[in-house]
Every structure is written in structure tokens, then in C-alpha cells.
Amino acid sequence: MVQVCLNGARTAADSPAVPLSPAALARSAAEAVAAGATDLHVHPKTPCGRDTLAPDAVAATLEAIRGCVDVPVGVTTGAWAEDGPSTRVDRVRRWTVLPDHASVNWHEPGAEELAAALLDRGVDVEAGIWSGTDGAARFAASPLAPGVLRVLAEVTDPDPATAVRSAHALLEDLAAVPHGRPVLLHGEEASTWPVLALAVRLGIPTRIGLEDTLVLPDGRRAASNAELVAEAVRRYGCARRVVVGRPGS
């Protein structure tokens, strides 16, 4: 599984390639799926480009994307998208079009209540567990942990020299969580490609997209989400060919 993270909290100031409007997100989603993405993660935006959980923005984004692709679509519920935990829960309860799943960062205030509201509405939850936070410990103690769709193991270490070590530490923390759930491992910014390479070696799901990085492994600016996805898929394909080609396999 390669999930594509289409835009994140980025704006047009980060790169003209970042899709913001529902129409641009739909085009980018279609290109990314054609390149091999099997799941989508998106940040709905206000007209001025700020992340939001407002029902009208979520509905417009989901309807546009679903008009172009037939894969699961998830949205963010990051604390920065709304003013306070209670507002996030209220927004979710007033959604008129539901995503297939939504990410909940377990270290953020109100995570349990937000995840419960999503599950009550029939929306699957991706538990965002960030390195360098108490998210793993909070998640381990949560009665909701057995019911989440998967864990997003998010390596926030910005140093590519230490990011893989941080990823291993995060995976070890998650391995100790009772009722373990499937894990999707990814990095961000300079750690994106080293952590993706680790996910490929371990044979576990990952994600890639303009939310996590604006550049290809060789440092060139990515022209699109599809270009990033194609490179990630190519790396998984190379890894599979190496395994299949081993003597005695």
C-alpha cells in the first residue's frame, strides 16, 4: 500500500505544484492513483488556503475527488485546522459527506473524544503516532486502540542521518501496544525518503506526497504528487524483484 498525501498544511507559497482547491485536488488524486497510489490523505482548505474541517469544505473536497477516483479517501483532523478540541468534534458531527477514514493525532488534546466521534459516525480512524511525543503511550492506554483502522507511524525527526534510528524506536514503541493494528510508516521533509526506504525494506505500507516532501530522492523539485508516487512504487517494485530473485527463493 502506498498512500498519497496530496497537500498537507502547505500553501501555494511552498510550491505551485501543491493542490488546494477541490478541482485541483481531484486532478492530482487521479494522477497519483494512475501512478500507483492505493489510498488518499487530503487536507480540505478554505478559499484562502487554510486547513479546515468545515462541513462544506470537506464535502466539496470529497465529492470532487470521488468523482475522479475509486480508492479510499481520508482527511486530516489536525489540531491546527480548528480552534480547540470541542470545535473539531462539533465539525465532525456536522459533516454532510463522510470520508472513508480520518487521521487523529493521539498526542493532541481531545484526541480520544475526536476519535470516538468519528467512529460513532462510521468513519474509520487512522491513529497518528508521532515520534518525539507521548502519543504511543496514550494510544496504548486507549480503549479505542483495538478499533482503529491502522496506525500512522510519523517520524518527525528532521535529520536524515538519525531518522531511521528514530523510526526503529517508534516502531518498537508501537510493537508494545496491546491489540496491535496495521502500521503505515512515513517521514517528513528531509527524513521522507530515508524512512520510506526503511518501510520498503520492512515490507510495510508507507505514504508519499507533497505534504511530506517537495523533492525527489535526488533533490530535484517534484512536479506533482504523481511523480513522487511513481518513484515510491518503483522502489517497492525493485525490492520485490530482489526478494523474488534471491537464490533459493
pLDDT digit string, tens, across residues 37-87? 999 999 999 999 999 999 999 999 999 999 999 999 999 999 999 999 999
pLDDT digit string, tens, across residues 83-135? 999 999 999 999 999 999 999 999 999 999 999 999 999 999 999 999 999 99
* One-character DSSP codes across the chain: -EEEE--TT--TTT-TTS--SHHHHHHHHHHHHHHT--EEEE--B-TTS-B---HHHHHHHHHHHHTT--S-EEE---GGGSSSHHHHHHHHHT-SS--SEEEEETTSTTHHHHHHHHHHTT-EEEEEEETTSSHHHHHHT-TTGGG-SEEEEE-----TTTHHHHHHHHHHHHHTSSS---EEEE--GGGHHHHHHHHHHHT--EEESTTT-SB-TTSPBPS-HHHHHHHHHHHHHHHHHHHHTSTT-
Q: Sorting pLDDT into bands at 50, 70 and 90, what band is 249?
A: very low
Whole-prediction pTM: 0.94
